[in-house]
Structure 1
């Protein structure tokens, strides 16, 4: 079941132009890393974005634990946060932290102290978030002169496509397998200082694919390229990618990118469990400063349980194309 875009507070397809909004209606955020020495390719660029979200089958009623926002402030900004599901084991709703984090970011995007910087925006939004929990986050901001700035904490991801090829991908930040870097209400987690930052030139026609790990754990790069190149409408592309990720996550015969990565890192289901139809699935772990032996075993072996193929998760996708303002 797809979440209606009215629940996400953004339309399914939105042209991001800084000329058609007022201060009172800005629902946005853009940022600026340290001044860049990159030479802009051209001026007057902005983002045209489409979004689609499909919650985990067990989390449909609350709309999942991912959150996002899209802004037409300046060149345009897109962001995704993914609540860490293990908080549910402590009777904490994992969606509250991610949703408040995104709401704060959208409110603060044009704050003078943010200085058009993804790091400062992540910091101020994190500081303002009072809900208990934690979340991964990624923010991308476009300068009108064609400079894209990215800030990322954890395993939400972004890929930049140009002429049918992926020319850049973010790298997940993890403490260990299935335990990503995360902003948290607890002092033991990461801050904006631990984020990964990138600045690069973009040009008209480039396509940005951003999403929670529910997308990239279940859809291979060649599938992303195939959909984005065949469907130039960003709303359609985002929908097709989200639906493919959701289908793959529930396919008993699908060897997902997540499962392949787990196997490469030495995690797999024992043969006797495979014989019973059990596959490797996962639940994003929160950071535990000191693990007791029983807790450690639970973290490691808790991923092995009977489930469909792929990795069941919330799926959030934003597809944005660089266009003339």
Structure 2
């Protein structure tokens, strides 16, 4: 079921940005290639946001194991957490951790100790989460002057499109194939210190993440056993494939992976 679009407005511009985050060595900066080709940043930018979620067919009744939140605080904040389904083998509902993590992030977004920093928000939300389980998370915060700050733990992805071209994309963090970095109730897992952080300049008209239709396409492809999905391509690249006798017959590993699909789309607009 699609969720209605939320329009977020910024009341005024802030002339300068001071960013402090927990792990400066892990911050990526999107460099300007040619200053003369970049349009001046406009103050009072805001986000027009839409969300589309499709739960796993077997998890429709409980709404799936993904969770998300969108906030109009300052320039706008959005995040997605993907609950790790393996916890179901221990009779733990994987959705509880991701939902509580997002609820805590939403509640703490304006906390003074967070300082509008994705790393600190991830840390405080994780610390406050008491449910058993684990989840990947991606979180983005827009500064009113056009600076997007991103924190990512795991394989949730974010892309920035400008005039139809992808100009920035986050990279997945994995221990090995199909085992991403994740925040967890267990002490041996990752923390905000393991997150990758990025700072990107955005302009009016930029689109963050992907379109609503993509969720339906991804869901459809995940059911297609012959589709050359990114999941199958990566699996083969990492050494997972069909037995040798099937290769002799021209067979190869194909198909997708049924899972929850959650997409948040945000367009940068002038207030």
Q: Does 1:250 align with 2:242?
A: no
For 2:84 and 2:142, locate their aligned partners in 1 and report how far apart those are by CA, in whole Å: 28
Residue 76 of structure 1 and its aligned partner are, at CA, apart by 0.7
Residue 48 of structure 1 and its aligned partner are, at CA, apart by 0.5
Instruction: Check whether the contact 1:78–1:141 (CA below 8 A) recurs between aligned residues.
Output: yes
- The 3-state SS of whatever aligns with 1:125 is helix
Aligned to 2:6: 14
- The 3-state SS of whatever aligns with 1:113 is coil
For 1:173 and 1:80, locate their aligned partners in 2 and report how far apart those are by CA, in whole Å: 15
* Alignment size in residue pairs: 251
For 1:268 and 1:62, locate their aligned partners in 2 and report how far apart those are by CA, in whole Å: 33
Instruction: Check whether the contact 1:33–1:149 (CA below 8 A) recurs between aligned residues.
Output: no
**Consecutive unaligned residues in structure 1, runs of 5 or more:** 6-11, 20-30, 210-223, 225-236, 282-308
Instruction: Check whether the contact 1:134–1:182 (CA below 8 A) recurs between aligned residues.
Output: yes
Residue 32 of structure 1 and its aligned partner are, at CA, apart by 7.8
Deviations 1:229-259 (A, max 9, x none): xxxxxxxx32x11111101111122110110
- The 3-state SS of whatever aligns with 1:99 is helix
Aligned to 1:49: 49
Instruction: Check whether the contact 2:10–2:44 (CA below 8 A) recurs between aligned residues.
Output: no
For 1:43 and 1:279, locate their aligned partners in 2 and report how far apart those are by CA, in whole Å: 52
**Consecutive unaligned residues in structure 2, runs of 5 or more:** 12-16, 22-26, 33-39
Q: Give the 5 Å matches for 1:75-154.
A: 75-154=75-154
Deviations 1:140-181 (A, max 9, x none): 010110000000000001000011100111000011111110
Aligned to 2:177: 177
For 2:136 and 2:49, locate their aligned partners in 1 and report how far apart those are by CA, in whole Å: 21
Residue 310 of structure 1 and its aligned partner are, at CA, apart by 1.2
For 1:70 and 1:280, locate their aligned partners in 2 and report how far apart those are by CA, in whole Å: 37
Instruction: Check whether the contact 1:105–1:122 (CA below 8 A) recurs between aligned residues.
Output: yes
TM-score in terms of structure 1 length: 0.72
For 1:86 and 1:32, locate their aligned partners in 2 and report how far apart those are by CA, in whole Å: 40
Instruction: Check whether the contact 1:45–1:145 (CA below 8 A) recurs between aligned residues.
Output: yes
Residue 279 of structure 1 and its aligned partner are, at CA, apart by 8.0
Note closer, same or farther for the CA distance 1:246–1:33 as it changes in structure 2 (3 Å cut): farther
For 2:253 and 2:103, locate their aligned partners in 1 and report how far apart those are by CA, in whole Å: 34
Aligned to 2:270: 324
Aligned to 1:289: none
For 1:252 and 1:177, locate their aligned partners in 2 and report how far apart those are by CA, in whole Å: 19
For 1:32 and 1:71, locate their aligned partners in 2 and report how far apart those are by CA, in whole Å: 21
Note closer, same or farther for the CA distance 1:273–1:61 as it changes in structure 2 (3 Å cut): farther
